[in-house]
Each structure stands twice: as structure tokens, then as C-alpha cells.
Chains A and B, each alone.
Chain A
């Protein structure tokens, strides 16, 4: 009920609220008004009655007075006979009727009083008449005897007394009434007073209520409004907004909403303002910076040593720095606005959008003289449009002079250093080569040291001069289109010997590509890298050279299994004179410049060169790129086995040198010994035969033109004797190789004098290679047999060991893998059924193994294999136990080994055949 009232009140429209507020006191006022009016009436009536009573009393009194006055006046007349005394009685006669009627009318509502009033009237009449009588008597006009006056007077007096009594009674009654009426007046007055208080109270209460209502309904709400506004202003949280739907409520809501809106706008404005301010600050700062930079730029340009000229898009000069003006022989002012004829070429090109950097050009000065410059010109672009050009140049007269001096210096030094070195090298070489006579072994050792180091010095000088020239650009690269296979072939030619001597295999795989490069320099680089790889590879290992296409480049890689490069040296090794180990230079004979030279060469070709290594002991790979020519078809060769293996031990091979000329013997001796061979000398054919028979050399170098017994005869004799029959002979003679070769039985190779050392060693290699199978087997061949069967394993091991083949035996897959890793055999013989792992797993491991995947594999198993198995095992040779006898196995494997070795040398098959023929059929044809 209350809440309904409250909500009713809350939602009452303001006007109504106002009305209510005003109504309350109004009502109170009305109430009091009405009540006062009522009281007033009553009071008035009461007062009227009081007045009435007074009037009655007074009127009655007046009547009495009139009568008494009249009586007195008559008496007075009677006494005096003065007519003046009659005036009041006249007056009375006049006024009396009216007064009497008045009296009667006054009391007509009160019967008792009315009676009295009538009585009074009567008495008054009587009185008057008596008085009249008296008057007449007095005046003598009366007809009555004078004696009757006393009667008249007594009657009159009686009337008067009676009047007096009646009047007094009337007055007494009237007094009673008056008292009543007066009391009533008092009562009413009291009531009135009480009413005042009540009305006061009502008024007060009403006022309070009205005030309260006013306050709550309006004032407080307005104040609250003010408070809300203040809070909005102060961005404080608002009080709950009045839900009232009246005007004030709506106003409040509207106000709040508006205020909020204003507030948001204000905030936004503030933010914007702040931003603007910040921007302003920024801009100012930027402007300052621009001004500062601009100043600095100007200073820089003015201070720059290079000449800088800027033109607009018509080629007119808009900017010239002092250096430019000075170099061109102008004063800066003279330039402005003029088209720059001096820089015509560069400017025109730049305005066309061409950026140029020309290392040597000539500009003309104002006075017509020319001077060499290096310049760069470029267009100035603004939003993609060319709006001008800028040319920077510098006078390179001095630089050119310096370069010329350097070139002269290099050339001079080159010559000056080389001349004495020639003598040193020459004389040492001759001495050390035994050309001038036999030398003490210790002396020879010393000479060897001297020669080696002289060579090293020469290489060093060459490298230093080379790198100097490359770096300064004087070693002009002459790039041309080259065929990659050709380059590789030449490279391999030059490293073949080194590889052989180091007993390192080279494996080459290359795409058939063409490049535009300086072929000599590319070969130089490859030779260097391969040389390094071979140098640092352990004997028996392989060096891989691969060339593949990678986008528009060719990627060359040289990989070795050497000792690797520590990570922190991978970059620094390309620096001059840095080697991984300080002792390298001495040991390996390097100059320390090789890689630096390679890098310069590659960089000048526009490629990159770098090294990778898994770390010490894990080999290393050197990569470099060269831009490739677009080629229509590229066929990638399979791993071209340009293998240059040295699978057998050349060292310690004994070579018999037979020549009548001692100096030649000496030369050959030293050549061969330097190569690691042991040398036996024979001065004549007879001596040769004898020594060959006893010492059984691995090969014989035979001169043809000898006194007593010539080469042919010697050869015949050698072939005749069983001990010497099989010794390969290399003819070493000035006699040129005969065309008809069919009678050259027993001759492996023919080497001409003067000696081409490479040819000689190649020949020897071939000779030794083919005809020393015992040596091979004794020294280097290794087989790993993987067989779990005890008996079979033992038998096989013994079989091969008997033949001089180093044989290992693994009885499980795991052991096979371990041994395989460690031993790195030349051949695997693998049983497929093993205790721990599947033989196939071992095959897979082999196929996946970096080095061992190319090792020949013979699968010797009892298992019958299907197509799928065979595929898996390919390319292994498969021998099935039970189908083939052990002897056959042995023969097969030995044959395999033989073939392996044979395929690694480029043999001539007809000489092969020749040799096996009966030597007795040989006959010399030359003398």
C-alpha cells in the first residue's frame, strides 16, 4: 500500500506534485479560513446577542430615563412654570414611541422579556399620560381640578416605580442573558483560540508535509540533479538515477544521458587535443631535426672530398658541392642552372633511369684539360618519377699512379725475387738429383730439405704475387664459356699424381654443364681444394668432388675424410696465412695462401665459397658456387668413376733401373726414390739379368741403346729365365715407340726420353699394378666374412688367409657391423641367416653406409631367394650354399677380387694377352 503510494507519488507529474504541495497548505488555509469564518460568525452572533442584551438593557434604561426625565421636567415645570423645563419631556414624547417599539422588537424573541417590554410600554404610556395631565395642570389648561394633582403625581410615581421595577427586572433578566451571552462569547473566543492553535498546528504540519513533499519531490531531486551533474563533471560514479517518469525524472535521465554524452565528447576532445598537442610537439621536433639534418647535410656535402653534382630533370645543375666545382675548375656559382656539359654522359644516362658505376673515365675541366675519375651516377626518384640526376665522382689520378707504382713494384719484385731463386733452385735441384755425382746420404738429406723449402718459397712468392694481383684487379680474369667436364678433366690430370702418391681415391660426380669463367683460375681453385683434401686425407680414403646445379648456380663440393676443421676456424681458414694447425705449413708444404686465393678467385667470379665440417676427426667439405649458364639440357652423369685409386702398395716396390749412362741412372734413381720406390741399378743388360734374378724387382726400367747387350736382347734373356719372366718391363728410351706394337711382348709401357716424369710413373704404376697380385693380396686386401656357423666360418677364413688375404670373421649381425666399420674391408661375404639380426638388415645397413655402400658384397647363403629378395640384395653377387661347392666359392671370390683391382686401372687388353703368351716367341725388331 505504502509502496504503491510511493511509486504513485514518484511518477506523478511535476505539475501535479506542485499542485499537491501547494494544495496542502492551501487546504490548511481553507480549513482555517473556514473554521475562522465559522468562529467569526459565531462570535459575531454571540457579540450581537451581547450587544442585543446591552441594547435591551440600555433601551430599557433609556425608556426609564426618558420617563424619569420627562417626569422630572414636568415636575420642574410644575415647580417653576418655566417652559424650558419641558424640553426633555417634549423630547421624550418624541423619542418614546420609537424607543418602545425598538425595545419590543429587540425582545420579541423572548416572550418573558416581551411581556415586560409591553408592560413597560404600557407603563410608559401611563406615565406620559399622567405627565400630560400634570402638565396641563400646571399650565392651567387642565380641566381637572387642581386637587387631583397629588393623585396624578402618585399615579405617575407608581407608574414610574412600576416602570423602574419592570425595567430593572428586564435588566436583570437581560443581565442574566448578558452573562450567558458574554460567557458564550468567551467560549467562542476560547474556541477561536483553540482553533487558532489547531489551525496553526495543521498549518504547521501541512506546511511541514508540504515542505517535505516539496523537498523530496522537488528540491531534493533538483539537488540530486545538481549532485549528479557535479559528479558527472568530476567524472565520479553516479548515484542511481531516479526512475521517476515525471518531468524531473526525465530531465534527470536526460541530463545524465546528455552529461554522459558530453563527457564522452569531452574525453574524445581531450584525447584529440592531446594527440594534436603531441603531434605538434613531434612535428616541431621533426622540423628541428630536419633543419638540423639539412644543416648537417649541407656541411657534409660541402666538406665531402668527392664531387657531388645534382641536376634537375632537364639536366640543369641544381646543386654543386665545393669539391666538384674545384675539381672541374669552376666556381660554384658559375654552375648553377647551367646544363652540365661536363657530365653529359653520366647525367643523360641517369635521367634515363640507368645507374652507373664506372671505375675509370675521364672528365674535362673548364680549361679543357682532362683528368681520370671514378664516378657513380644515378637518377633521383620521387614517388617513382625521375626528377633529376646525381653524379658523384672522385679524381683518381693519384690512385692510378699508386696502382701503377704497385704494379711496377710487383713486377719488379716478382722478377727480382725469382732470379736468385732460379739459381738456388737449379743448383740444389741438380745436386739433389744426383746429376752431378753421387752424394752422401746425409748430405742428400740436407739437400732434400733445401730443395723442398726452396720450392715452398717459390710457391709462396707465386701465391703472394698472385693474390696481390687478384685483389688489385690486375690479374685480369679472362672469362669465357667453358665445358665443365673439360675443366674437371684437366683438374684431375694435375692432381692424379698427388692422389696416387697419397693413396687417396678420387670420386667425381658432375653434371654436364657450361659456365662462364676463367678456366685457368677455376682449375687453379679446384686443384687447390683437391690438393688440400688429398693432403689431409688418410691413405686409403676417398675424396669426393661433386658438381650439381642449384638454381642458376653450380655448386661445387670437395669432401674429404680427413681430420676435419674445428668450428671456430671454418671462416678464418680462408684468411691469408691461417692454417688449422701451425705445424701444417711445414708438414704439408702449404703456403697458407691457397684458400685465400681461391676465395678471391671465386668472389671475382661472383660466387661464394665456404667450408663445412662436423668437427675434428670428421672430415670436411669445401663448397663454392659459380654462376651457371642456362643450359638446354643437363644430363647428370652417374658417379663417373674417375677413380684414381692406389689400391696396392707402391711404396717399397723394388725397381731395377738398367741404363748404361750413369747420370741417367742417377736421375732415375732419385726420381724413383723420391716417389717412394726402392731402386736397384744395373749398368748393362747382363748385370740387369743377374740382379733381376736374385733380387726379383717388381718392375724393370730398361734402356734400349746399350753397348754389348742392347735392350731387346736383355728383354729376351729376361723372358727366357723363369725367375724374371713375369717381371714387367718398362722401356725407357730415346727410341720412339714403334708403330707396330704386336711384337712388343713383355713390354708394359714405353716411355720416351727425355723423361716425362708423369708418364714414367704412370707406366710404372700400371706395370706394378697388374703384375703383382701376390703383393696386393699380401698387403692390402681385406675380407669380412659374416657367418654364424662355426665350422664354415673357420674353413672360409682359413681358405682366404692362406691366399694372403686379410680375413675377418663376424658371427653375428652386430659384430658384422662393428667389424665392418672398423676394418672397412674390400669385400663382404655375408650369410643371410644370423642369430641376432636379419642378414637383410646388415645389407640395408651397408647400402646406407656412406663409405661401405660401394664395397662389393657376396651373399653366401643357404636360403633360397625369390625375386623380391634378389632385388633387395642387388647389386650383391649371390652364391647359394649347396648349389655351389666351396672351391667354386673360393675361385669366384678370388676372381671377383682380381676383377676389382683390374677395373681400377686403365689397362690395354691386348697387351694383357700378349704377356701371357710364351715369351720364347718374342723377337726384337729394332736395333
Chain B
């Protein structure tokens, strides 16, 4: 293999300097989050307002110009729209279009921060000015998300200015694919899509088939409900992903690549298309990249809504234009993948970690994390927690730090009950796991998995059995139907769970559930079936008493399951005003004026309309 150093026809450092100069010309940079979350909260209108006011140059005292920069997701979706002015070292939260004028007049013109738009620490009640001092960010280490929220994703110069494509230039110059693979192996990077397979080893397997046509495929089919880190990278820093793919292509000897993106992410698709075009124009993608002789083309394939396509062989089938059904392995994609050619499939977050590893070194990367799980991991922190959003922490961070420090604890002062991790393939973690260092192996031991990194926090008001039913409904719906144990097993497991939440379960159902779970796990071809029973198994392990309460006592401890709710009128409090009876949509409430009313439990549909209608708080749900 030729390994002599190549002279590239561009100097990436010079390009970076040029880009930095360009950005300096923007004057005062006002970063407005333009991720899906903040757009929904009105960030486009906020930007519009800044631009409108920024055109009036006279207001800008020190800066001769102000530029409003739309950025990718900052992760702190809860507090959107986020506005950051780096020169003033300040972060504004929950900004509405009407607030913009005050920010411009008071802060940009007079240098006085607008206190009411600052983040308030829920514990101390103090205003927080700086981004890094907000607890949500303070405990994070952002690698793959590093530039998300700091650069304009639709402008390649902004990416270059922060070191974009430097790692690609480095590997092309050194011209040693083997060394690239070694570096990735040394870094200890493991697949971030769920499985946790060592990335370097996967690269090596695929590279062993070097010579003919081979492909790189990026799995952007982020189907796990409750996970959106890949979306954020694709929307916020698409060039990092493209660079990671090009490096992978160079290492394994591929000249063509596909990014498979779910159709539910239209903004990601749009930004990736722009990024690919810009990179091609710069000569960072396409033919003879940077004069090195290396060719690499990236195409985008839109998914069409099938969870199973996150499985690599199903994804390949889908790119080929077929029903997205998994194929038996072996042959592994590394030997026979897309269009029958050797194919390297990596997830978005995995590839987004590659440029930093090459640029800064494997040693730096592996300084984060635990013995067997290196680097940082993004988690989508959602559910009943104060600060929801996207976070990135070193592997091995405990659940307590994530939920209570970064997440700011449970909302409305409720009690922590459990965390569902890893989506429909994952499991539940409980209070006893709060101090468990989260990495691939520890989570597997606890009966859960890192998965894609969705973390849904649940409080005392969440019914665990209902959650298990929810996930089983999801996997049953998404089972492609190829393997009988998965197709029929999930259906029957769902039936039993539905029976239990309706209050018609029997104790022997629990044994049947466990039996079926085993059959589905053992008898399925792909990860979907192999992991589908996990939520049921882990909740049965940690919350068996809740299942038993539904079955034996016909009671839902969290008061969620409709069929098990009982709504009652307290006769002592009822004044007989008849308001409840008039509000009941099914005429289930009987009684005469000025006499206590009664609910006919057979007719009652438990909608709760009477509870909100009662002026005397005499009606409650048990």
C-alpha cells in the first residue's frame, strides 16, 4: 500500500484563516437557535426582528455591524428561543419576537443586560448570564455536538473557521488509510447507534475487502422515539458528518456514500443537501478532493417511515428500493452489503466523532469515559424533568448527575420513579441505579442498553405497565413481519399487556409474558425482535408489584389506566348543585337538586369532566 505523504493543492489552515476573517466582518454576531424545537417556538420571527433592527446601524455603538446567525440546536429546547451573543458572553432564554427590541436597545446599544430574559437557576433563584454557568451546560462535555448552536449550518465557511475539514486534509495528506483505522481503533470509539460495536474493528473488516467498489452508509434513520441527537447533528453541524464520512471512505477505500435520513426530518435533509453542495464547490467532496486523487460522492436517501430500517440490513434493502426487511447475517455488510458490495454502515453520531478523533488524537478521545466505553455520549433528556433537551456527557456519568444536575430534577416537585433508556429496545432504570456509571456494559448488566441514547424520565404519576404496553404497541406495529416469533410474539405480548391495563389480567399472564419474551428474543433475526421484549422484562423485574396491583387489586397505582379509574363524589362535600350532572357527556351522574349526587360506575367513561366542573372539589379520582 502506498503511504508516501501527498502534497494537497489547498492549505486548510490558510482556508481557515480566510474563513475566520470573513466571520470577523460579520461584526457583532447574534446567534439565534434555529433547530426544529426553537423554530416551533418562533425563532424565525425572532431572527427577522433582529435583522430588521440590525439594519439600523446607528444603534450599534462599538460594533459597526450586527449579523444575525441562525444556528443548529443548542440542546436546551425547554428554554427556546435561545439567543446567544458570544461577544457579550450572554445567553438569553425564552426570547419572543417582542423582546428583541429591548435586547437591541438595552444591551446592544446601552450595554445593559436584560435581566428578565436571563435563565433563572431553579435552585438558587439567581439570574445566570453565561452559557457555561447554566447548570444544564456546566456538566456537559460536547464533542459531537460541539459546534451545534455555535455556527450557521448553512454556511461552510463557518464550519471551516472552527476547524472543519482539517481532519480530512490531515488524512489525505498523510495518505495512510491503515493509520486512520488504527487511530480509530486506539480511540476505543464504539457504535453510537445502539449496538456499541467497536467502530475501528468494523472499519477494518470492511477495509479487508478493499479493491473493488465499496460504499459508506450513514445511518440517519433515528427511529427511537425519544431520541433526536442525530437530527441535531445533521441540522446543526452537517459538515462534521460529511467530513467523518469522507474520512471513513478514505480509510476503507470507498468512493461513494449514502446518508439514509428519516422522512420525519425535513430540515435535516435540507441542510445536508446544502452542505453537500457547498462542500463539492469547495472541492472537499466529489472528484480529486483537495488534489489528493481521492474521490468521494455522498447521496441522500430519504426514508419513508419504518422503524426497522434502523437495522443495517433493512436499511440497505430500503436504499435499494425494497421493503425494509432485515436479511440474515452472515454475510455481514462488510462483505456483502449495498448492491452486493462491501459496505461500512455507521450511525450519525459515530461518524460525527471521527473528525475530532483524527484532529485531536485517539488519546484525547479515550481520556473520556470508562474502561470499556470511551469518549462522550449524547443523550436526549426528556419526559418529566425540569430541563429537557439534548446533552453530551462523558461515558460513565451517573444517572443522578444527568437527571438531577443537568436535568434540574423532576418537574413540579414530584418524585423520581424511573428512567426509560434506549427506546423500545431498552429498559427501565430505577432509583437503585441512580449512581450507576452509565456505559455500554453497565447498562446491559442492569437489563437496559445505551441504545441511541433516549432518556425518558418518569415520575410517580407514570404507570409503568402502561409504558410497557406503549413500547410493545410500538414494536408490534413496527415489526416487519418476516420472523414469526417477532410478528406473532409481539402481538400476543401486546394483547396480554392490554388485558392487564384493562384490569382483566390474571397472574398466570405474567408467566406467559416471560415465556413469550424469551421466544421473541431467541427466535428473531434482527435487533428489533431481539430487543423488543426488553421494556417488558425490565419493568417486570423492577416493578412487578405494579403489574400485580393491576391484576390482583384491579388498581393502577399511578392512576393512569382509564379502565381502572374510579371517580367518586364525596357526599359530605357535594352541595347538589347539579353542575356535574349537566357536564357529564354520558349522563352517568344521578341526583336531585340540593341532594348529594352519585356516579353510575357502569355508565361512567372516566373522562373527568365532572371533576373539573365541580365548584366544591367534591369529586375525585381514586
Q: Do A and B come together as binding partners?
A: no
- B-to-A contact residues, CB < 8 Å: none
Interface set of A (CB-CB < 8 Å, partner B): none
